[in-house]
């Protein structure tokens, strides 16, 4: 498999117009008339565990519609779709379907005087909305959430409405979010084989991090410069002649989540690595010049 999940976990954004004067931040950002946005305050979880129907994408959203009483908007629709990146079970990519509808009653006035809400999209609801009965999805597939803002005058703004001036920075609002689909991992010993084509080990920040229910363990090659020596491996015994190393990572029974991340290397053209599951089968091959990001490694329990 290839590292195809360089996920960009985006925020929501919506533009709307009004002739009313306002001191709201959005009015100074937009060149045209008063706007309305859904600002992402935080994304608290962007990994959904398909072994747990209560596992959820979590975010905090804030609405600013350019009015003093936040009366311009009527609802937010959250849609979901799945992109199939695991072809072994066929291509089950879905269309976008409605998941939730939120109204102003679901929001409370937040610390800056604007409507704010903690929202969640749980796996049980996502499965029902997409009509999944089993076998359509696999760990490594990608969920995409899209938000549509409905105004009281009938206008609707969605992902195609994003204006470049507010898709980054303070607003970071391109209307949609990605979440990686995972599963509860099979317990056991995972073997990581690491190689360096130049022979001087991996360069900082090079390494593999595995977050096991909040505890991070590492796998990396020692290098000749002394900046990756904590827990690194060295098959040759010489830091100046370290072409490879093998280490193991143990995932205990009962682990709910194990997320693998490659942090990158100063010389990516020298690096390759493979990961083998508890049964000895290869579950990931980095290929040449791997880039940093989440690794689609998922060996499911049970």
Q: Which CATH number among 2.60.40, 1.10.3470, 2.120.10, 2.40.128 corresponds to the domain 25-182?
A: 2.60.40
Euclidean distance between CA atoms 91 and 77, whole angstroms: 27
Say yes or no to pLDDT of 166 above 60: no
- The pLDDT assigned to 12 comes to 30
Of 28-42, 153-167, 203-217, 249-263, the least confident: 28-42
Q: 3-class DSSP state for residue 124? A: helix
Q: How far apart are CA 302 and CA 281, in angstroms?
A: 16
Residues ≥6 apart with Cβ < 8 Å to 165: 29, 30, 31
Long-range contacts of range 204-208, CB-CB < 8 Å, 24 or more positions apart? 204/228, 204/266, 205/263, 205/264, 205/265, 206/263, 206/264, 206/265, 206/266, 206/271, 207/262, 207/263, 208/260, 208/261, 208/262, 208/263, 208/273, 208/275, 208/295
**Distance in angstroms (rounded) separating the CA atoms of residues 77 and 101:** 4
Q: For residues 215-220, give the mean pLDDT.
A: 94
Q: Check: CB of residue 220 under 8 Å from CB of residue 233.
A: yes
* Domain map (residue ranges) of the chain: 25-182, 188-295
Report the chain's C-alpha Rg in angstroms. 23
Examine the pLDDT at 92 and tell me if it is beyond 70: yes
Contact at 8 Å (CB) between 142 and 179? Answer: yes
Q: What is the pLDDT of residue 172?
A: 53
Please compute the mean of the pLDDT values over residues 5-29 and round it to a whole number.
37
What pLDDT score does 11 carry? 30
C-beta separation of 37 from 202 below 8 A: no
Whether the predicted pLDDT of 8 surpasses 90:
no
Average pLDDT over the chain reads: 83
Q: Which residues, other chains included, contact 208 with Cβ-Cβ below 8 Å and sequence gap of 6+?
A: 192, 194, 218, 219, 220, 260, 261, 262, 263, 273, 275, 295
pLDDT digits (tens, 9 = 90+) for 27-77: 443 333 445 788 888 999 998 999 999 999 999 999 888 788 888 999 999
Output 168 or 246, whichever has higher pLDDT.
246
Checking if the pLDDT of 255 tops 90, the result is yes
Q: Which residues pair with 276 in a beta bridge?
A: 191, 282
- Ranking 17-21, 119-123, 243-247, 255-259 by mean pLDDT, the lowest is 17-21
253 pLDDT above the threshold of 70: yes
Q: Average of pLDDT values for 94-113?
A: 96
Please state, in angstroms and rounded to a whole number, the distance separating the CA atoms of residues 267 and 254. Answer: 37
pLDDT in tens, 122-141: 999 999 999 999 889 988 89
Work out the average pLDDT over 98-111.
Answer: 96
Q: How far apart are CA 250 and CA 252, in angstroms?
A: 6
| CA nearest to 195, candidates 114, 90, 274, 120 | 274
Question: Which pLDDT score is estimated for 238?
Answer: 77
Q: According to the model, what pLDDT value does residue 87 have?
A: 79
Confidence grade of residue 237 (pLDDT, cut at 50, 70, 90) = confident
Could you tell me which residue, 149 or 80, shows the higher pLDDT?
A: 80
Q: What is the DSSP letter of 104?
A: G
Return the beta strands (E) in the chain as ranges. 37-45, 47-49, 56-64, 73-83, 97-102, 108-109, 115-122, 142-151, 156-157, 176-182, 188-196, 208-212, 215-219, 244-251, 258-262, 271-276, 282-285, 293-295
pLDDT tens-digit profile of 266-301? Answer: 899 999 999 999 999 999 999 999 999 888 888 888
pTM higher than the cut 0.75 = no
Question: Distance between alpha carbon 255 and the CA centroid of its chain, in Å?
Answer: 20
pLDDT per residue as tens digits for the range 143-164: 999 999 898 988 887 777 755 4
The pLDDT of residue 16: 37
């Amino acid at each position: 498999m290839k590292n195809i999940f360089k996920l960009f976990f985006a925020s929501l954004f919506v533009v709307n117009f009004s002739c009313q004067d306002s001191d709201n931040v959005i009015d100074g950002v937009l060149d045209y008339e008063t706007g309305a946005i859904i600002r992402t305050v935080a994304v608290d979880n962007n990994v959904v565990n398909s072994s747990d129907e209560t596992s959820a994408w979590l975010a905090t959203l804030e609405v600013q519609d350019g009015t003093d009483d936040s009366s311009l908007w009527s609802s937010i629709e959250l849609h979901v779709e799945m992109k199939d990146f695991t072809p072994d079970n066929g291509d089950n990519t879905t269309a976008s379907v409605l998941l939730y509808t939120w109204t102003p009653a679901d929001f409370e006035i937040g610390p800056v005087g604007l409507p704010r809400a903690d929202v969640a999209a749980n796996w049980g609801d996502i499965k029902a909305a997409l009509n999944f009965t089993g076998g359509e999805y696999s760990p490594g597939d990608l969920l995409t959430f899209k938000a549509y803002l409905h105004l009281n005058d009938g206008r609707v703004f969605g992902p195609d409405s994003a204006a470049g001036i507010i898709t980054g920075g303070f607003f970071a609002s391109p209307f949609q979010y990605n979440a990686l689909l995972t599963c509860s991992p099979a317990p056991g010993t995972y073997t990581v084989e690491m190689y360096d084509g130049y022979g001087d080990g991996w360069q900082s920040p090079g390494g593999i991090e595995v977050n096991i229910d909040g505890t991070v363990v590492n796998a990396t090659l020692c290098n000749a410069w002394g900046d990756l020596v904590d827990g690194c491996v060295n098959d040759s015994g010489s830091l100046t002649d370290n072409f490879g190393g093998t280490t193991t990572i143990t995932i205990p029974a009962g682990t709910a989540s194990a997320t693998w991340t490659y942090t990158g290397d100063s010389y990516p053209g020298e690096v390759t690595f493979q990961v083998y599951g508890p049964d000895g089968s290869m579950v990931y091959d980095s290929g040449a010049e791997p880039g940093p990001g989440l690794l689609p490694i998922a060996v499911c329990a049970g």
